[in-house]
């Protein structure tokens, strides 16, 4: 990507509580707008921005990624980490393209198959949860069809998924079970979360996240 400076405008879509947003803010002087549709996440991120004294260049807003009302050409970079699947890669890239300035970039992560013929339980899980999962070559072909060129792409290590997501989730599932031990519906929800963790532990060689940096053609 071209040099990032104080005039660079970044849009972080699906920011959650802003872990990656704060890394972006710490690593560059760019101006960042972060959006998520869950108000408590946005409140938490804005509180942290105030604590760090960076509200002059980081603002979090409640917004739906499916209906962003920013003007055309508002941003140099769109960042979407672990969230574009909500819309679907093609829908997101086509809809958000108007928000980018000339030669604008998109950085995103998307789950991909790592190798063919996953175990039946793993294949059934992804068919149910995210049937759009595909291998990297098919993802790159789809990106090109949406009017972008791939600047770089690489697989994220399994540790990125385990350390930042599944290990905390495992701790939360155990605590959740204890708090709601007499609630069948809560235990069923915990079972679903545990099943996802167990699938990853058994089959993580077969799938994982790819990180892509794209440029508007």
Residues 21-38 as b/e (b if ≥16 CB within 10 A, e otherwise) read bbebbeebebbbbbbbee
pLDDT per residue rounded down to tens, the chain (217 residues)? 456 777 899 999 999 999 999 999 999 999 999 999 999 999 999 999 999 999 999 999 999 999 999 999 999 999 999 999 999 999 999 999 999 999 999 999 999 999 999 999 999 999 999 999 999 999 999 999 999 999 999 999 999 999 989 999 999 999 999 999 999 999 999 999 999 999 999 999 999 999 999 999 9
Cα-Cα-Cα-Cα dihedral sign, residues 26, 28, 32, 35: negative
Q: Classify 74 as helix, strand or coil.
A: coil
Residue found by looking up tokens 């972008």 in the block: 148
pTM: 0.93
Give every CB contact of residue 213 below 8 A, 6+ residues apart in sequence: 1, 105, 106, 107, 150, 151, 152, 153
The residues, ordered by sequence, that sit 6+ positions from 159 with a Cβ below 8 Å of its Cβ are none
Phi, psi of 144 (to 5 degrees): -65, -35
pLDDT of amino acid 3: 61
Please give the pLDDT value at position 51.
97
Q: What is the pLDDT of residue 1?
A: 47
Mapping DSSP to helix (H, G, I), strand (E, B) and coil, where does residue 7 land?
coil
| Runs of H (alpha helix) within 3-135 | 19-27, 39-52, 89-96, 120-129
Q: How many CB atoms lie within 10 A of CB 80?
A: 26
What is the Cα–Cα distance from 164 to 159, expressed in whole angstroms? 8
Domains of the chain: 9-114+131-157+205-216 (3.40.50.150)
């Amino acid at each position: 990507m071209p040099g990032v400076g104080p005039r660079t405008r970044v849009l972080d879509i699906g920011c959650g509580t802003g872990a990656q947003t704060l890394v972006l803010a710490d690593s560059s002087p760019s101006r960042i707008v972060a959006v998520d549709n869950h108000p408590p996440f946005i409140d938490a991120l804005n509180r942290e921005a105030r604590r760090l004294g960076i509200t002059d260049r980081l603002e979090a807003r409640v917004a739906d990624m499916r209906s962003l009302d920013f003007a055309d050409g508002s941003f140099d970079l769109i960042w979407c980490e672990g969230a574009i699947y909500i819309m679907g890669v093609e829908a997101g890239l086509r809809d958000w393209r108007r928000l980018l300035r000339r030669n604008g970039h998109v950085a995103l992560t998307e789950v991909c198959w790592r190798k063919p013929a996953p175990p039946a339980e793993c294949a059934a899980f992804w068919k149910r949860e995210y049937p759009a999962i595909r291998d990297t070559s098919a993802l790159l072909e789809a990106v090109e069809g949406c009017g972008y060129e791939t600047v770089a792409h690489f697989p994220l290590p399994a540790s990125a998924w385990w350390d930042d997501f599944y290990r905390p989730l495992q701790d939360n599932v155990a605590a959740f079970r204890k708090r709601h031990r007499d609630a069948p519906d809560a235990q069923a929800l915990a079972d679903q979360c545990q099943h996802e963790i167990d699938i990853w532990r058994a089959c993580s060689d077969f799938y994982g996240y790819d990180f892509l940096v794209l440029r508007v053609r």
